[in-house]
Amino acid sequence: MDALVTILSGSLVGFSLGLIGGGGSILAVPLLLYAVGIPDPHVAIGTSALAVATNAFANLAQHARAGTVKWPCAATFAASGVLGALVGSTVGKSIDGERLLFLFALVMVAVGISMLRGRRGEGDPGVRINRKIAVRLVAIGFLVGAISGLFGIGGGFLIVPGIMLGSGMAMLNAIGSSLFSVGAFGLTTAANYAVSGLVDWTIAALFIAGGVVGGFLGMKAAVRLSTRKGVLTKIFAGVLFVVAAYMLYRNAGAVGLF
């Protein structure tokens, strides 16, 4: 039964990613905590980071074949972000678990707001990296990587606008290029947590397997429901707000609110 719940939880994350193209990985930590039943928040974050990284690299392969990845920009952003993720994940391990979850819930609220605001499609599809762009990508990449590492999330909701801000590339290219950073940040965070014994490898494997199946079904559903993606995004943002409210309530005592 525990294995089935883990697979279904991974499928839910993968399905949401395939259906609306983002946001789903941030549900991985609360699902691992409250559905799968991992008792330690740090283990949930480390395990989630590994699952997120694996799914991101799988999706990156599809975008690479489609030619949407701007590799020089993606590599520059990721290289700086990996250092940030190492710093962030190291800090995250030292923070009390309940305090970390309270902060995580606030990030979920920010993700929900970001999804409701939507994404603009402007940008230069033919952008080429130069010194000015590289400096911006390094600075923004480090900051986003640190946030990603701190909470063990993919950070796509920050990486996509971050790459667009740093390089000026088009949305489609930013989405494809962001997956390289999502995978790199997640792998860095997972490795840092694994060194401290804070990754449950069995649960991670089951979660990843479920995510692959869910992602495939989500992409199929996205084709059939393409005209309703705006509604689906609003529903998903609402789910994030509800889960965030629950996590804030559960962990409010850690920050002295109750």
pLDDT score of 201: 97
Predicted local confidence at residue 22, as pLDDT: 60
Structural domain including 49 reads 2-255
Rg over CA atoms, the chain: 17
pLDDT of residue 215: 80
Predicted local confidence at residue 221, as pLDDT: 78
Number of domains in the chain: 1
Please report, in tens digits, the pLDDT of each residue of the chain (258 residues total): 689 999 999 998 888 777 765 666 788 999 999 999 999 999 999 999 999 888 888 878 878 888 889 999 999 999 999 999 999 999 999 999 888 889 888 988 887 887 787 665 567 888 899 999 999 999 999 999 999 999 888 777 788 888 988 999 887 788 888 889 989 999 999 999 999 999 999 999 999 999 888 888 877 776 677 677 677 778 778 888 988 898 888 888 766 665
Report yes or no: 96 and 219 within 8 Å, Cβ to Cβ.
Answer: no
Q: pLDDT value at position 160?
A: 82
Helix, strand or coil, per DSSP, at residue 124: strand
> What six digits make up the tokens of 140?
């923004």
pLDDT at 120: 59
Both structure tokens of 249: 């309530």
Computed from CA positions of residues 34, 233, 114, 160, in that sequence, does the dihedral angle turn out positive or negative?
A: positive
